[in-house]
Structure formats: structure tokens, C-alpha cells
Structure 1
Amino acid sequence: MTAPTGRPGPLRPGPRGLRRFAGPRLPRREVCELCGVVVAEEHHRHLVETERRALVCACVPCALLLDRPGAAVGGRFRAVPDRYLTDPDHRLDDGAWELLQIPVSVAFFFRNAALDRLVALYPSPAGATESELDPATWQTVLGASRLSALLEPDVEALLLRRSGGRTECHLVPIDICYELVGRMRLLWQGFDGGAEARAALDAFFAQVERRAKVPTGTGTPTAEAGRP
């Protein structure tokens, strides 16, 4: 995915795809970008439109068509998976975190397939803020995690949180990372985000931890159905 400048910047909302992340959750029906059918919140999936670097809405049947092996190869859209994995053995000390050049305690990383490189983003009052990584830093800091080998380009992210002297590492759908960005942008107050933003962050990661599975052997478990 490439931004208009050619740099691997953050995903952009599609015409309707991420409006629900920008404010309070209200009853809303979106439209599938593929077939045009109205999609209720409880039947809502997302696609990555690779050429425009945008997340767009999809109905479940259209998303399932693109979920099939090989269905999205060379295509315009890729379905965002619904799996949540975790690596409880992941270790990242303060020195390694400094290499990432992330000024806050939360960041997510996805592989840009078009440029074949990792992109690092973190929440801020202005939205998703980018911190570019060179391949050597990626390998040093995140390459040892078993989740990095499982990461699907463009549609999944490694979500990290530094807290209490340890770093949580999860593999998650890319759209929930932008949901987190939207929540933080809405709630952020003052220099450090404020109590309400911190409480929302704790609740968000609690949901991720409840859904995340530890990969075993060569297989990777599929997350439970539904959204967090």
C-alpha cells in the first residue's frame, strides 16, 4: 500500500469505513463497498483497499469471498482477518523500546506489501502518527517474536504496549488498531492523555487479551467470531 507521496503512511478511512471510530458508538448502518448492500453494525467487516491505502466496509458474504486462500492475490481488496494471537514469551526491554523511537507506551506495526517494509504507528491527539523503521531495527526489536513470522501483510498488525516494566505483544486485525486510534483521539486530554483515555486503553487491551490465543506448533488458531 502506498500513500500519495510514495511513503508508507497510515491507512486512510474509506468514504464510510471508519466513521464509527471517530466518535461515540451510535446505531449506524454502513454500505458494503463491493456489492452496495446496507450492512448493520453486528454484520460489519472491513477490507483493505490496497491501491488507495484505505479501510472500507464490507458485508460478511463479500468478506468471506475474499477470505478464501488466494482470493485476494493481485486484487484490489484484501479482507481483514479476525484472528487474535499473543506471545507471552515476548521480551522487550527499555533499550529495545527506545530503538523503536515511539514516544508513547502503545504502538502497532504492519508490513506494507507494496514496499515490503514494516510501518510503525502510534496513537496521538492528532490520530495515527507514523514512525518509520529500517529493516535492521525491525529485525533487532521484533524479529525474534514468533508472531512476526505469522503476520499477514497490510491486514494484520503487531500491537505492543509497554506497561509496568514489561511489553505485551499481540497479533491483531489492522482495523482494531485504528479503532484504538479513534478512541484515543476522542478522549485525549492534556499531556499524557488523561484518566479517561487511560481507562479506555486498559479496557481495550483487556478485550484483546481475552480473545488472544497462543499459537502452538505450526498451526495458528482462529479468533472467536465477532468484534471486540
Structure 2
Amino acid sequence: MTTGLRRFREPPQAGPQQAVERCEMCAEPLGEHHGHVVNLESRALMCTCRGCYLLFTPRGAAGGRYRAVPERYLHAPSFRISAADWDELQIPVRTAFFFRNSALGRTVAFYPSPGGATESLLPMETWERVLEANPALAEAEPDVEALLVDRRPDGFACHLVPIDACYRLVGLVRLHWKGFDGGREAWEAIDGFFADLRRRGEVIPRGGDDGD
């Protein structure tokens, strides 16, 4: 998913020469906050005006070729995953996002890196075990929603987010990462990103996903 993501990867232009961002479907000017639509054939994430976005909110619109990215945010601060499970998932950093790719018929995993979104091989048996332990998060919409897992010093947290939020995080890492450890600016941006997700997300309380 690279089309439409330049705004996440590059510093904004300033001054009178700044280009007007336009809908990638109808060319209408876009505001700072606008929706995104996924082209399921090319995997492109497209910036769209509200009208074009709404065209593709019904499932199966345009023969299923395009899907509007939902706007719901959930936060599971007590995400059930063990350190051993995380090691088995072979994620070399603290954060990764997982979503079901309908074209491949399986879940794929990526993590942010200074070079962009890096795919990680995903042991499916381990991931299925994690989903079974967190049933409230197992219903993320294929292609357009992701489970964004953050391994913090006090444990794991998981956010069910629109897929564009994950690429916004990838863009922050690319923009700000310096040297081997990222530097203060990068970590302030990353921590600010997750703080915003916690503010926006509807909290799934401990035990609330299985009736405990």
C-alpha cells in the first residue's frame, strides 16, 4: 500500500507552492482530515473525498474491488499474549500490526522500520492461539482494519484500528528515526501516536471479551 501514503512519509511542504491534495477518485480538493479507500487488487490506499468514501462503505460495492477504511478504534489494554507467543511471532521490535489479506486468504504481519513497513513471516498456529485468547479483537474487517500490538515495559496492549492508522505510524518512524536507537524525536512521536490511540479508542475491559 504505497499510493496515497506520501503524506505519511514526507514532511509537509510549506509556502505558496504547496500543492492542493485532491481526491484520487474524482479530483475534488481534500481537507486535512479525509477518508481512505483500499483498492483490493493493487493494495493501494487512496485518499478520497467524503462522497467517494461513502460510495464504498457498503460491503460488495464496485464488485468488491474497493473498500472504504472504517473509522472505529478499540483499545485492549489487557491484551492476552505471552512473551513466548511474541517471540514465536518473530517480531524484532516492540510494535507490529496484523491484518487479514483477503487476496492471500491469510493474516499478514508488518512492523514499522526506518525503511517503511517491513513484512514479517507469521507462524499461523501461534497467531490463531493469540486470537482465541482475545475473541473481541478477532473480528477486524479484512484488508481495512488491523490489530496494532505494542509491547510496553508494563506489558502488551492492542488497538483495533483503521489500516491507515498503521501506515501513519510507519510514516512517523520514517520521518523521525535517526541512528540506531531512533533518537528522542522519534520516540516522542511514537509515544504521542499511541497516547492519541488510547484517547480515541473505546476500551475493552479485562474479561469483557469473554464474559468473565
Task: Please indicate the TM-score interval, normalised by the length of the shorter structure.
Answer: 0.7 to 0.9
Aligned 8 A contact 1:21 1:179 in 2:
yes
Cα deviation, 1:146-188, whole Å, max 9, x if unaligned, reads 3432200000100010011401101000011111101101111
Higher fraction of helix: 2
Aligned 8 A contact 1:92 1:166 in 2:
no
Of 46, 63, 69, which aligns to 2:36? 46
Q: In terms of mean alpha carbon deviation, does 165-174 or 136-145 score higher?
A: 136-145
Secondary structure of the 1:57 match is strand
Unaligned runs of 5+ residues in structure 1 are 1-10, 219-228
Aligned 8 A contact 2:98 2:146 in 1:
yes
Counterpart for residue 140 of structure 1? 129
Number of aligned residues: 203
Establish whether residue 122 from structure 1 lines up as the match of residue 123 from structure 2.
no
Normalised by the length of structure 2, the TM-score is 0.88
Percent sequence identity over matched residues? 54
Aligned 8 A contact 1:87 1:147 in 2:
no
Q: Pairwise mapping of residues 1-228 of structure 1 onto structure 2 (< 5 A)? A: 11=1, 13-14=2-3, 17-26=4-13, 29-42=20-33, 44-68=34-58, 70-72=59-61, 74-214=63-203
Unaligned runs of 5+ residues in structure 2 are none
Q: How far apart are the structure 2 equivalents of 1:55 and 1:211?
A: 22
Q: How far apart are the structure 2 equivalents of 1:94 and 1:165?
A: 12
Secondary structure of the 1:190 match is coil
Normalised by the length of structure 1, the TM-score is 0.82
Q: How far apart are the structure 2 equivalents of 1:130 and 1:202?
A: 22
Letter paired with 1:35: C
Counterpart for residue 221 of structure 1? none
Secondary structure of the 1:137 match is helix
Structure 1 residue 72: deviation in Å? 3.0
Change (3 A) 1:74 1:215: farther
Aligned CA-pair RMSD: 2.0
Secondary structure of the 1:38 match is coil
Structure 1 residue 140: deviation in Å? 1.9
